[in-house]
Amino acid sequence: MREVHRLEDLGAAGIRALVALAGRLRERPEPRALEGKVLALLFLNPSLRTQASFQAAMSRLGGGSFVIAPDRFIHKLEFDPAAVMDGETAENIAEAVPVLASYGDALGVRMFAAQRDLAEDLADERFELIRRLCGKPFLNMESAARHPCQSLADWRTLDDLGIPAAGGRFVLSWTNHPHPLPLAVASDTLRMAAMRGMEITVLRPEGYELPESVMAQAGQLASASGGSVRESDDPAEAMEGAHAVYAKSWASTRHYGDPEADLALRAGLSGWTVDGGWFAAAREDCRFLHCLPVRRGVVVTGAVLDGPRSAVVHQAENRMWTQMAALHRMLS
């Protein structure tokens, strides 16, 4: 295995194998498996869980890591290899990425969506440029359109919670937030649940439909795995019989790149905060999931977060175990 980038490239069987390896490493550690190996981490956007979990994963396997973050350590980066650099950028990605990759045995990169043009963000062109320049085993630590490492952890979490794949009812719900957020987590969460073969409802108010291309791909992945995908704008109807609800805010695709129009649209959506009432028609053991960080009282109430339904801390821990499995498979 050379990379963790697109879930569909790993395949459902490949993901199940990684998730199983994560469980084995949790129960039977291999503290010298990656002895002498180095993981290079390039964070073009901030991180808490992603940075900490990758560094902890390498340490637990006996390897090392280093972190580069432009806002703290390096020059402003130019992303056009053909640019005449007579402005503020001092380093071109064409040199920076191969140099960083040469210092490590694998490279992980995190770069959020620009959120100016939907087609550009879905194409992930800048991220794909970095990937092509790497030349080493590569890890997508969140791009404009994808967050596969989060989805591997989520798959593991669903397994740990005993939530079935076949017949499991999974609600991916838009929730309120003060800012328009990228589509990466929501898109890969949908792909993950589809590849797992679940009965998925994408719950969202009008104007917050996920991109047609993402929905179409999820439908194909679900069909191949024995699952299904549908949409709803009614929380009570969508939550009926649900095994899990995964809350995540994302930008309006109708007003993508126009934050003022997006904020005007969400001004009347304050009721889209997950509280105890959301679970009235769900299964008694329905669980609450979120990738974190989460805004208490906006995305979800503290009562739900602190209650027995919440699995968010378990999800976050599983980031480390599933990333250990990926690194083990790539570098051992």
Instruction: Specify the pLDDT at position 74.
Output: 67
Per-residue pLDDT tens for 256-289?
Answer: 999 999 999 999 998 999 999 999 999 999 999 9
Question: Rounded mean pLDDT of 15-43?
Answer: 98
Relative orientation angle of helices 7-27 and 148-160, to the nearest 10 degrees: 50
Is residue 4 predicted with pLDDT exceeding 80? yes
Per-residue pLDDT tens for 183-199?
Answer: 999 999 999 999 999 99
DSSP per residue over 264-291, as a string? HHHTT-TT-SB-GGGGSSS-TT-EEE--
Instruction: Specify the pLDDT at position 69.
Output: 87
Per-residue pLDDT tens for 205-245?
Answer: 999 999 999 999 999 999 999 999 999 999 999 999 999 99
> With DSSP H G I counted as helix, E B as strand and the rest as coil, what are the percentages for the chain, rounded to 5?
40, 15, 40
CA dihedral 16→22→27→29, nearest 10 degrees, is: 140
Cis omega (within 30 of 0) for bond into 81: no
71 pLDDT band (50/70/90 cuts)? Answer: low
